[in-house]
């Protein structure tokens, strides 16, 4: 089966009735890039930059970060590379940044909240990303945005980084695209406002499901309640896609749900054609997509919105799926 899937790598990624998809990879290190290319990914839809900061005893200098980002961009040729700014906190700790002891780390000092507090380290990272943008097709992604103020503040730091580089006559892509993770329910509720101010949305279903359902994604005891197909999650996905489409920005999904073939009719029905997933999932999702028809999923949302449980949602999806792996 593995060999059969591998033959799909160069095949154009589209449904039987011609809806073209971008299937990109989530990566956490440059080591994964060979497999990203081997599996025919459309690019890197989520570059988790945490690894650059981990397993060391001081902040990575700009030069070192620049060299990693540039390497990824160049290796991908002109393909899109979405670099997410630092997403630490919660269970991901760094020895050299004092993180407070917290009762609820997932609701605490993490991700963009740290970056906006420690603008020194945030600006260093943004400078490195901007400099690398001269060498490929790089876009910036902010994690855990929950308000317009956070977006504005992040963009102020980005603007300051650009000003510095201009003054230093260092080249970068001036109109680099900037997007946000949609992974906090508040961001979904104000998706119409956010969509007017960013270039793209990337839906992080791992955290979004956790926060919508108030179920810790790391807690085994409540794992049975962690349901990506819960009707509340589906409604949030629809709200997000609708706001993005109304504002003419593109929207992708980069949580684990993107790599789940059962969810494909959901994306087809919403008109979401960009998915980013672990590199091992790409060919399996592609195989399923190649057997799908947009026509059969176009009206699925009427049925999905009538479902009163995750189990009912899965039953509807089963009817609409095409899978032989
Ligand atoms: C997510 O939350 O869905 C996501 C992609 O980010 P992470 O898993 O790194 O939190
Ligand atoms: Mg997340």
Q: What is the ipTM of this complex?
A: 0.99
Residue nearest to atom 1 of ligand 1 (CA): 204
Cα 163 to averaged position of ligand 1 atoms, centre (Å):
31
pLDDT of res. 324 = 42
Instruction: Identify the residue whose tokens are 């489409």.
Output: 245
Query: What's the pLDDT tens digit per position in 73-94?
Result: 999 999 999 999 999 987 788 8
User: Within its chain, how far is the Cα of 194 from the centroid?
Assistant: 16
Nearest-5° angle of CA 203, CA 208, CA 209? 125
User: Ligand 1 pocket check: which of 113, 183, 233 to mutate, most ligand atoms within 8 Å of Cβ?
Assistant: 183
Q: Tell whether the model's pLDDT for residue 2 goes beyond 70.
A: no
Is 307 a known active-site residue?
no
User: Ligand 1 pocket check: which of 254, 259, 275 to mutate, most ligand atoms within 8 Å of Cβ?
Assistant: 254
Residue nearest to atom 7 of ligand 1 (CA): 206
Q: Which residues line ligand 1 (CB under 6 A)?
A: 46, 48, 87, 183, 204-207, 254-255
Q: Tell whether the model's pLDDT for residue 321 goes beyond 80.
A: no
Cα–Cα distance between 298 and 302 in angstroms, integer?
A: 9
Instruction: Tell me how far CA of residue 205 lies from CA of 93, 127, 163, 230, 286, in angstroms.
Output: 22, 28, 34, 12, 20
CB under 8 Å to 75, separation ≥6 — which residues? 30, 33, 37
325 — pLDDT class (breaks 50, 70, 90): very low
Q: Which atom of ligand 1 is nearest to the CA of 207?
A: 2
Q: Structure pTM?
A: 0.96
Residue 299, judged by CB atoms within 10 A of its CB (0-12, 13-18, 19+), counts as exposed
Residue nearest to atom 3 of ligand 1 (CA): 204
Q: What average pLDDT does this structure show over 121-148?
A: 98
Residue nearest to atom 9 of ligand 1 (CA): 48
Strands (E), the chain: 22-27, 43-48, 80-84, 137-142, 178-182, 200-203, 250-253, 274-278
Residues annotated in a binding site for Mg(2+): 183, 207
In the set 254, 263, 279, 316, the catalytic residue is 254
Coil/strand/helix, residue 12: coil
Residue 5, judged by CB atoms within 10 A of its CB (0-12, 13-18, 19+), counts as middle
CB under 8 Å to 93, separation ≥6 — which residues? 99
Query: What's the pLDDT tens digit per position in 45-79?
Result: 999 999 999 989 999 999 999 999 999 999 999 99
160 — pLDDT class (breaks 50, 70, 90): very high
Residues annotated in a binding site: 48, 84, 183, 206-207, 217
Q: What average pLDDT does this structure show over 151-170?
A: 98
């Amino acid at each position: 089966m593995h060999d059969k899937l591998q033959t799909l790598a160069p095949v154009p990624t589209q449904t039987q009735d011609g809806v073209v998809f971008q299937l990109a990879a989530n990566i956490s290190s440059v080591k994964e890039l060979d497999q990203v290319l081997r599996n025919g990914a459309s690019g890197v839809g989520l570059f988790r930059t945490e690894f650059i900061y981990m397993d060391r005893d001081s902040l990575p200098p700009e030069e070192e970060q620049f060299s990693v980002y540039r390497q990824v961009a160049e290796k991908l040729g002109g393909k899109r590379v979405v670099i997410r700014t630092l997403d630490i906190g919660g269970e991901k700790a760094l020895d050299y940044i004092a993180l407070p002891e917290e009762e609820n780390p997932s609701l605490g000092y993490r991700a963009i909240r740290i970056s906006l507090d420690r603008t020194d380290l945030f600006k260093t990272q943004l400078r490195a990303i901007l400099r690398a943008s001269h060498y490929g097709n790089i876009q910036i992604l902010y994690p855990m945005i929950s308000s317009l103020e956070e977006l504005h503040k992040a963009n102020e730091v980005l603007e300051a980084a650009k000003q510095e580089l201009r003054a230093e006559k260092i080249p970068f892509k001036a109109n680099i695209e900037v997007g946000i993770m949609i992974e906090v329910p508040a961001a979904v509720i104000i998706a119409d406002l956010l969509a007017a101010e960013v270039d793209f949305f990337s839906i992080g279903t791992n955290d979004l499901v956790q926060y919508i359902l108030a179920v810790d994604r790391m807690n085994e005891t409540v794992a049975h309640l962690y349901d990506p197909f819960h009707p509340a999650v589906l409604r949030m996905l629809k709200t997000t896609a609708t706001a993005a489409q109304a504002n003419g920005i593109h929207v992708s999904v980069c949580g684990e749900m993107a790599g789940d073939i059962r969810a494909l009719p959901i994306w087809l029905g919403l008109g979401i054609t960009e998915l980013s997933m672990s590199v091992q999932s790409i060919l399996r999702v592609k195989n399923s997509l190649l057997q799908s028809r947009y026509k059969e999923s176009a009206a699925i949302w009427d049925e999905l919105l009538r479902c009163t449980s995750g189990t009912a949602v899965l039953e509807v999806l089963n009817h609409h799926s095409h899978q032989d792996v």
